[in-house]
């Protein structure tokens, strides 16, 4: 997938997710299956997950290799990255503490949606400073998946929002 395709998917998938959450009634927004997050918490979790990715991409380009190194392998394709993530979840992988959302009030949904979409737009602006080849050169740490190339981190960000969109839908359809 090209950089432009990734950027478009990031916008579309996050916008679709946010609109789906905003379309929920207050009861559905606040509903949670036992030991699961509410739709509002899912939205908060996605924001908490995207914010550090945006921060990492907004650092000066020379910082990333100094902090995290460079890739010693080719980037996985989207399907392989998703498969790796699903395997980690199946093995019991969970969100680390900084990514676990607190309760989210219904009346904060628009503010949270705006914050998420602004963050996605800022991430996409930062992605523009990287050449296509640099997305496969530099790496970032992921708390569950380990070292990912910048391209893989963007793939994860694309998939992650869909994963939580599906979780909300499944929770409300049970």
Q: What is the pLDDT of residues 78-117, one digit of tens each?
A: 999 999 999 999 999 999 999 999 999 999 999 999 999 9
Alpha-carbon gap, residue 64 to 173, rounded angstroms: 42
Are 96 and 52 in contact by the 8 Å Cβ rule? The answer is no
Structure tokens at 35: 């030991």
The mean pLDDT of the chain is 96
Task: Tell me the CA end-to-end span of the chain in Å, nearest whole number.
Answer: 35
Alpha-carbon gap, residue 168 to 162, rounded angstroms: 10
Tell me the whole-structure pTM to 2 decimals: 0.96
Q: What is the pLDDT of residue 173?
A: 86
CATH number at residue 138: 1.20.120.450
> Based on the structure, what is the number of domains in the chain?
1
Where in the sequence is the domain holding 123, given as residue range(s)? 3-29+36-172
Q: How confident is the model at residue 174 (pLDDT cuts 50, 70, 90)?
A: low
Q: Could you tell me the CA-to-CA distances from 61 to 55, 134, 138 in Å, in that order?
A: 12, 10, 9
């Amino acid at each position: 997938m090209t950089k432009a395709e990734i950027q478009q998917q990031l916008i579309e998938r996050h916008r679709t997710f946010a609109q789906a959450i905003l379309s929920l009634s207050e009861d559905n927004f606040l509903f949670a299956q036992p030991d699961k997050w509410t739709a509002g918490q899912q939205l908060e979790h996605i924001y908490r997950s995207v914010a550090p990715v945006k921060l990492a991409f907004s650092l000066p380009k020379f910082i990333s290799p100094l902090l995290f190194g460079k890739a010693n392998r080719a980037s996985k394709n989207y399907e392989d990255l998703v498969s790796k993530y699903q395997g980690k979840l199946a093995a019991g992988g969970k969100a680390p503490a900084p990514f676990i959302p607190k309760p989210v009030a219904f009346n904060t949904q628009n503010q949270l949606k705006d914050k998420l979409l602004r963050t996605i737009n800022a991430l996409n602006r930062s992605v523009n400073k990287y050449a296509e080849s640099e997305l496969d050169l530099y790496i970032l740490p992921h708390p569950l998946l380990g070292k990912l190339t910048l391209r893989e981190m963007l793939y994860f960000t694309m998939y992650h929002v869909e994963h939580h969109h599906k979780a909300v839908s499944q929770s409300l359809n049970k």
